[in-house]
């Protein structure tokens, strides 16, 4: 029965949606690329299953799933509300959001001390409309300055417009190289970690199961490590 199901899946291409988020998934020269895209594609390739990915703003991704216009969505955080709608895979990557500072400054942040009091008198750049965690989201408005893009965040820190910024570690490394921004380093002592998943429509359990098996295989074969190495995104 398992073989029949897998054979039937090979007769079509499954569709996934995600929001553009380089270096994890992005379009370049009309082709989808990125770390998460390649991890997911390689996992399904273990079963000779092909995928197509449409990159959309996040709200449109979720609407596409609700209308069942796609089989699944990726780079999604698991919540009870989403579990009522979707089947979640095994976690395929852990995202790390860090405070970044200009090299040479002595700003430190402790995770066991009230964040608001530690940041008093500082200005922190954040991404507009993005939810980090309750501690960050609840900071006084005088402490935060919002920016519309990752590039703007990095540039603001580089030109001394902010004291700190919050950014995903891989995204920061990617844009630091792309924009030739140097002398920026992580602030030790504080990190927001979130496990990321691929989530499928409730009736697509076989897809979830195939992905989980494929993910385990590419980890064992070293393919997972090769993808990370290819994009050269180390921890900051």
Low-confidence ranges of the chain (pLDDT < 70): 1-11, 234-236
Choose among 203, 98, 101, 209: nearest CA to 157. Answer: 101
- Read off the pLDDT of residues 121-153 as tens digits, 9 standing for 90 and up: 999 999 988 888 889 999 999 999 999 988 999
- CA dist., res. 143 & res. 99, Å (int): 14
Q: Are residues 161 and 84 in the same domain?
A: no
Longest dimension (CA), the chain: 64
pLDDT of residue 234: 66
Q: Are residues 61 and 117 in the same domain?
A: no
- The sign of the torsion formed by the CA atoms of 156, 157, 162, 165 equals positive
Is 143 in contact with 114 (CB distance < 8 Å)?
no
Is 50 in contact with 14 (CB distance < 8 Å)?
yes
pLDDT of residue 110: 87
| Domain total of the chain | 2
- Give domain status of residue 159, yes or no: yes
- CA dist., res. 112 & res. 194, Å (int): 19
Q: Domain residues for 132?
A: 95-193
- 132 DSSP assignment: -
- Give domain status of residue 236, yes or no: no
Q: What CATH number is given to the structural domain containing 133?
A: 3.40.190.10
Phi, psi torsion values for 61, nearest 5 degrees = -60, -50
pLDDT of residue 74: 97
- Give domain status of residue 36, yes or no: yes
Q: Are residues 67 and 87 in the same domain?
A: yes
């Amino acid at each position: 029965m398992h073989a029949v199901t897998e054979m039937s899946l090979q007769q079509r291409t499954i569709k996934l949606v995600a929001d553009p988020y380089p270096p994890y998934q992005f379009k370049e020269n009309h082709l989808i690329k990125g770390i998460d895209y390649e991890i997911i594609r390689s996992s399904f390739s273990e079963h000779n299953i092909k995928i197509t990915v449409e990159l959309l703003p996040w709200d449109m991704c979720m609407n596409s799933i609700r209308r069942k216009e796609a089989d699944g969505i990726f780079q999604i955080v698991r919540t009870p509300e989403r579990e009522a709608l979707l089947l979640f895979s095994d976690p395929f990557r852990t995202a790390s959001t860090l405070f970044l500072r200009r090299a040479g400054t002595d700003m430190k942040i402790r995770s066991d001390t009230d964040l608001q009091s530690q940041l008093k008198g500082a200005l922190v750049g954040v991404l507009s409309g993005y939810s980090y965690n309750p501690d960050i989201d609840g900071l006084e408005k005088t402490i935060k300055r919002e920016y519309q893009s990752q590039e703007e965040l990095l540039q603001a820190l580089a030109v001394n417009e902010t004291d700190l910024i919050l950014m995903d570690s891989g995204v920061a490394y990617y844009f630091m190289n792309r924009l030739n921004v140097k002398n920026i380093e992580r602030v030790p002592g504080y990190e927001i970690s979130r496990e990321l998943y691929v989530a499928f429509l409730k009736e697509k359990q076989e897809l979830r199961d195939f992905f989980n098996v494929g993910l385990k295989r590419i980890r064992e074969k070293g393919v997972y490590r090769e993808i990370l190495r290819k994009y050269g995104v180390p921890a900051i």
